[in-house]
């Protein structure tokens, strides 16, 4: 560190990895595994920011230990601010089958329409575009967008009614 303070950047580049190894061992014995990397990084930043405070006439390790200790205390304090909760083995997950099947069926139904009808139904009814926005996006007039939506939905309704009658 004394050489680094004197402007020897190569010495500083050699020192930092050595500090990181020592800090990792230091924090691994004192903190939960998930906090070790953050503590090492926080301490490395502090060492870099406070490097001008190191007195070369005193032992470097004592100076480094003091910084690491303060960062360790900060990490311990943060545990109280972020309480952890153990997760149960059986975490409830929503079943998305109905949504996936519905989306798949809707895509199949939309392919039965003319492309212009399918596109404006997607834009207005599914994606939430206004008629004017869909008109600009497709190049169709606002009136034609409305007509294509109406005709497309009518065709889909008719198709579904025929399939329902066939299923009965």
Q: What angle do CA 148, 151, 152 make, to 5 degrees?
A: 80
Q: What is the pLDDT of residues 110-155, one digit of tens each?
A: 999 999 999 999 999 988 899 999 999 999 999 999 999 999 999 9
Percent of the chain with pLDDT over 90: 54
CB within 8 Å of 112: residues ≥ 6 apart: 155, 156, 159
> Which H or E run contains 67?
helix 60-81
Q: What is the pLDDT at residue 82?
A: 66
Q: Which of 69, 61, 13 is nearest to 39 (CA)?
A: 69
Among left, alpha and beta (phi > 0; psi -120 to 50; other), residue 58 is beta
Q: Which of 159, 110, 63 is nearest to 167 (CA)?
A: 159
Q: Which of 109, 136, 102, 106 is nearest to 120 (CA)?
A: 136
168: pLDDT strictly greater than 70: no
Percent of the chain with pLDDT over 70: 93
Cα(116)–Cα(41) distance, rounded to whole angstroms? 56
Q: What is the pLDDT at residue 155?
A: 93
Q: What is the pLDDT at residue 83?
A: 62
Q: What is the pLDDT at residue 163?
A: 81
Q: What is the pLDDT of residues 7-55, one digit of tens each?
A: 888 988 999 999 999 999 999 999 988 899 999 999 999 999 998 898 9
Q: What is the pLDDT at residue 84?
A: 65
Mean pLDDT of 96-102: 80
Domains of the chain (ranges; CATH) run 2-81 (1.10.1740.10), 97-167 (1.10.10.10)
């Amino acid at each position: 560190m004394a050489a680094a303070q004197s402007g020897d950047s190569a010495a500083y580049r050699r020192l930092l990895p050595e500090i990181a190894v020592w800090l990792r061992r230091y924090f691994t014995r004192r903190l939960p595994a998930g906090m070790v990397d953050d503590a090492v990084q926080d301490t490395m930043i502090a060492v870099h920011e406070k490097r001008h405070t190191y007195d070369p006439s005193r032992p470097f390790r004592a100076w480094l230990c003091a910084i690491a200790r303060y960062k360790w205390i900060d990490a311990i304090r943060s545990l109280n601010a972020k309480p952890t909760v153990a997760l149960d083995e059986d975490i409830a997950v929503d079943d998305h089958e109905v949504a996936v099947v519905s989306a798949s069926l809707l895509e199949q139904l939309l392919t039965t329409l003319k492309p212009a009808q399918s596109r404006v139904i997607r834009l207005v009814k599914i994606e939430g575009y206004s008629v004017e926005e869909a008109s600009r996006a497709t190049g169709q007039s606002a009136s034609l967008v409305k007509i294509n939506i109406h005709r497309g939905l009518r065709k889909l309704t008719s198709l579904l009614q025929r399939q329902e009658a066939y299923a009965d």
